[in-house]
Amino acid sequence: MKIVVLDGYTLNPGDNPWTSVEQLGELTVYDRTPREKVVERARDAEIVLTNKTPITREAIAELPNLQYIGVLATGYDIVDTAAARERGIPVSNVPVYGTDSVAEYVFALITSYFRRPALHSELVKAGEWQKAGDFSFWRTPLAELAGKTIGIVGFGRIGRRVGELARAFKMQVLAYDVCGKAPSSFEVGWAELEELFRVSDVVTLHCNQTPENTGLVSKALLSIMKSQALLINTARGGLVQEQDLADALNHGVIGGAAVDVVSSEPISEDNPLLHARNITITPHIAWAALEARRRLMQTTAENIAAFQNGAPINVVN
């Protein structure tokens, strides 16, 4: 079978070979594909794999050989799943691969905010420690995580793993999920969204973006947060109203923010967060540890093999 990968660079920039997928068919990999070339590049393929390149209803209609779509990620909103279903084309995603990678990254952001190692390293290199004249020198307040409250919005696999790590740091865990309370292997409190934002020292987002929660984090929620609280978003950029967050940071409404995702990626030059105070912005890399990308590659191959054997798995449509 002919397999075409529309945007394979982020999964394999050179350190994560396509060997397991190559064994399943005639493979062509494009690092990136502009929207207008999707049909041209996928025209003869029975299997198309995509990460963030949209596969629209119009494109599906112009791909007569298409039999299967694989999403190289967990989120699958870039595929018109309804149009695929109408054609009898299964769409599979990779639901479990980055849990540890994202959760660990969240704590890299949290510890960086409360302890500021990079800032103080730069100050030492600039000679500030010598100028201070003391054996110990710090420019910003430093704080422990133990005893602080972390509010987790979205308590699926990643949210739960964040909670487990938080408990290891002796933090109090609050959770909110639209699906309601669920059993947990560790101590967790449940709160309504407003209460969670009000009492948490850290709020971290781990929910899917839906039409109902787009723009969820707005001026109203930000205004009730603690003045030194940290907001983290490693989920989807559209969950946050970015101008409202920039205003909250610039006016000291909250202490800081760390975002790995933004509303339009790569980030646009006019994104207000670029000029906000006390924010860390990283380029959608929480998921991208090599171990996680290897798991993603392996599951993608398993998804394709299952389809070829007549029993597709991880089907989302």
Quote the tokens at residue 8.
């394979």
Output the CA torsion 34→35→40→43 (10° steps).
120
Tell me the per-residue pLDDT of 239-259, one tens digit each, with 9 for 90 and over. 999 999 999 999 999 999 999
CATH topology of domain 99-281: Rossmann fold (3.40.50)
Give mean pLDDT, residues 11-26: 98
pTM above 0.85, yes or no: yes
pLDDT at 183 over 90: no
Q: In which residue are the tokens 């502009």 written?
A: 34
The reply to whether domains 2-97+290-308 and 99-281 share a CATH topology is yes
Which entry of 265, 275, 277, 291 is annotated as an active-site residue? Answer: 265
Which entry of 167, 284, 294, 302 is annotated as an active-site residue? Answer: 284
Residue 251: active-site member: no
Rg (CA), the chain: 22
- 15-19, 76-80, 182-186: range with lowest mean pLDDT: 182-186
Which entry of 160, 206, 236, 295 is annotated as an active-site residue? Answer: 236
Indicate the CATH number for domain 2-97+290-308.
3.40.50.720
Which 8-state DSSP code applies to residue 67?
-
Segments making up each domain of the chain, as ranges: 2-97+290-308, 99-281
Average pLDDT score, the chain: 97
Tell me the per-residue pLDDT of 201-221, one tens digit each, with 9 for 90 and over. 999 999 999 999 999 999 999
- CA pair distance 157, 180, nearest whole angstrom: 15
- CA pair distance 114, 112, nearest whole angstrom: 6
Residue 194: active-site member: no
**Percent of the chain as helix, strand, coil, to the nearest 5:** 35, 15, 50
Give mean pLDDT, residues 35-64: 98
Give mean pLDDT, residues 273-299: 98
Give mean pLDDT, residues 110-123: 98
pLDDT at 233 over 90: yes
The residue type of 63 is L
CA 3 to chain centre: 26
Whether residue 20 contacts residue 299, with contact meaning beta carbons closer than 8 Å, is answered with no
DSSP per-residue string spanning 265-280: SSPPTT-GGGG-SSEE
Q: In which residue are the tokens 């699958």 written?
A: 76
Give mean pLDDT, residues 97-124: 98
Which 8-state DSSP code applies to residue 237?
G
Quote the tokens at residue 64.
């007569």
Neighbour tally for 309: CB within 10 Å: 9
Give mean pLDDT, residues 129-139: 96
- CA pair distance 294, 13, nearest whole angstrom: 12
Query: Above pLDDT 70, what percent of the chain?
Result: 100
Residue 284: active-site member: yes
Band of residue 142 on the pLDDT scale cut at 50, 70, 90: very high
What's the pLDDT score for residue 182?
84
Whether residue 106 contacts residue 94, with contact meaning beta carbons closer than 8 Å, is answered with no
What's the pLDDT score for residue 252?
98
pLDDT at 275 over 90: yes
pLDDT at 188 over 90: yes
